Chain A
């Protein structure tokens, strides 16, 4: 969770270009952002690795590191192979070896899976999907009046 204000829950896929565009529009707004993992591997094969990476940096660093990696991935989705992730992790001042262990851990996989299954139960059928104060947002998120 980041920020304060109206709560915006986002189900996002870190490999999804539409999610990156949405992130660019909403991430700096005065909102309480709740990030939920929704990797769709069949469309974006690197998505599971990216979501695991975000959780791994949160384990080692902090929630701040999590948001920093999310911001960094959405700023540049063209460099998402392992060496690029290691560069990003080093830039956050974190240990790459521990990152590699953590991102392959069951705890991280379960954390991502839990969000994904929650999204399925909530009827999420594509990304980005948004809920403002608990209600689903239909259509273009950027023009949602509550935001």
Chain B
């Protein structure tokens, strides 16, 4: 897993509409990369729907959440509609899991990313990370706020 202080590897991945989105597009803002195993799984659905519920608070705190999984843009499109999500989901579909692997968040044995959070600061440097002990454990939305608090104090 990537560590705080390291430069966040840049990437360009398609979003739910197939439009390319790069990490550098978020330069100047804080962005939380939320790697998760797969669209529509019950645990991922719980995780992302809770993040959606706190989105107004995250917006107020100036934090953008970007979900990344190995699913295709079309799956992301359907998943966003299914859960009424309005944050960015990126498709790490081809080459499969390449971006997750670059962050040390890919589980080759499972063929998906682990449930990992990476906070990237406005200069593109990793400032906080969290890796779930297993893909079945959800990083609660409290961690998003904990990350902001921890990095605000630093």
A residues sitting closer than 8 Å to B (CB atoms) are: 40-43, 45, 116, 120-126
Starting from the known contacts A42-B49, A125-B138, 12 additional A-B residue pairs (CB-CB under 8 Å) come to A40-B49, A40-B53, A116-B53, A120-B50, A120-B54, A120-B140, A120-B141, A120-B145, A124-B50, A125-B46, A125-B141, A126-B50
A43 touches B141 (CB 8 A): no
30 of the cross-chain contacts (CB-CB < 8 Å) are A40-B49, A40-B50, A40-B53, A41-B53, A41-B84, A42-B49, A42-B52, A42-B53, A42-B85, A43-B46, A45-B84, A120-B50, A120-B54, A120-B140, A120-B141, A120-B142, A120-B145, A121-B142, A121-B145, A123-B140, A123-B142, A124-B50, A125-B46, A125-B47, A125-B138, A125-B140, A125-B141, A126-B47, A126-B50, A126-B138
Report B140 CB to chain A, min CB distance, Å: 4
Q: Which residues of A contact B141 (CB under 8 A)?
A: 120, 125
Report A35 CB to chain B, min CB distance, Å: 18
A43 touches B45 (CB 8 A): yes
Q: Which residues of B contact A42 (CB under 8 A)?
A: 49, 52-53, 83-85
B residues sitting closer than 8 Å to A (CB atoms) are: 43, 45-47, 49-50, 52-54, 83-85, 138-142, 145
Interface core residue of A42, A43, A120 (most chain B CB under 10 Å): A42
- What is the bound-complex CA distance between A45 and B83, given in angstroms? 10
- What is the bound-complex CA distance between A43 and B54, given in angstroms? 13
Q: Which residues of B contact A43 (CB under 8 A)?
A: 45-46, 49, 83
